[in-house]
Amino acid sequence: MAEMILIIIGVLILGILARIGVKFWQYGRPQHLKHVPEATCADDGAVTLFIPGYAGNRFSFGGMLQRFVTGGIANKSLVVMVDRHNQPHVTGHLDPYRPMVQVIFATPRVAVRQQANGILAVVQYLIAHEHVQTINLVAHSMGGVVLFQYLTTAAKLVNLPEVRKVVTIGAPFNDSEVGQNTYPIENHPLTKDGPAQTTPVYNYFLRTLQRLPNTISYLNIAGNIGDAAQSDGAVALNSALSLRFLLRPAIDQYQEFVVHGKNARHSRLHENYAVDRQIVQFLYPDSTKMVAGQK
């Protein structure tokens, strides 16, 4: 009897490992739509980069991108591995219809500025090899800070693609530590004029985001699991939503969405169908497709 139980447990463990292995393979390769419509508007032609958070990997956005492909929404055209020297290693080809690019950092625990330089290298690759003219940026957690660091750097440069739309998910815009999780969760109340107390990262963006063009549209997504800190378990709602004050000059092009409940946890935000739906409606407002798994 004991041997039979051990055999069953072994089979279950092998099944779980096999499933993880399949996901690991799927999440790190391009995936294309079976039936590809023609691009009919600027939204369909923009290239969308997905930027993971601190210590992120292919699992960070792999599931979301797969759901978008399975749902007939967009193509996962390229997977770009950025090495420790910020050199992009590219797999796949760029589709003309709703191309998505999964960015993965080979050394995912580095400083914001280094990762932002990595994003710049990816964008420069897209210009040189794919002649990309317009991009969207989607980022989770520290990736949101990396995203805005890239935007402030790009604002000083020329001949870079136009950024049309920006999506941030659970990003710590008013935390002292924007990478590793710290406890207690940093939570500075918001007043009508901004956070009651500000951190260096917030103050930096308060000075630099004035450089951004007024043509970018923003969607800021935050989670609230209903804990004492009113947070997603890692980033306080007040920290994530402090972005509205940093983008005050572009407030007409800014919108925010708060996810509630257990699936609003920080590491689950990119696995949340409500988040999927918000991103799809924002990037492709004319889309009639639904994300796989939704009804």
CA distance 120 to 126: 10
Domain count, the chain: 1
Beta bridge partners of 76: 31, 100
The amino acid occupying position 237 is: L
pLDDT of residue 240: 98
Rg (CA), the chain: 19
- Show the low-confidence residues of the chain (pLDDT under 50): 295
CA distance 253 to 293: 30
Helix (H) or strand (E) holding 195: strand 194-195
Q: Is residue 32 part of a domain?
A: no
pLDDT of residue 295: 47
Q: Is residue 10 part of a domain?
A: no
| CB 202, CB 173: distance < 8 Å | yes
Under DSSP, the state recorded for 125 is: H
Residue with tokens 């690019």: 101
DSSP string, 68-118: HHHTTS-EEEEEEEE-TTS-EEEEE---SSSEEEEEEESS-SS-HHHHHHH
Q: Is residue 124 part of a domain?
A: yes
Range of the domain at 279: 43-286
Q: Is residue 27 part of a domain?
A: no
Residue with tokens 């990003």: 171
pLDDT of residue 209: 94
Residue with tokens 């092998």: 14
Q: pTM for this structure?
A: 0.92
pLDDT tens string 110-149:
999 999 999 999 999 999 999 999 999 999 999 999 999 9
Q: Is residue 230 part of a domain?
A: yes
Instruction: Kindly report the CATH number assigned to the domain that includes residue 252.
Output: 3.40.50.1820
CA distance 199 to 182: 14
Q: Is residue 53 part of a domain?
A: yes
281: three-class secondary structure by DSSP: helix
CA distance 284 to 44: 7
Closest to 116 measured CA to CA, from 66, 22, 49:
49
- Sequence-separated (6 or more) residues with CB below 8 Å from residue 189: 195, 196, 238
| CB 27, CB 59: distance < 8 Å | yes
| CB 243, CB 193: distance < 8 Å | no
| CB 69, CB 61: distance < 8 Å | no
| CB 219, CB 165: distance < 8 Å | yes
pLDDT of residue 179: 84
Residue 269, both tokens: 């935000």
CA distance 102 to 215: 24
Q: Is residue 23 part of a domain?
A: no
Q: Is residue 141 part of a domain?
A: yes
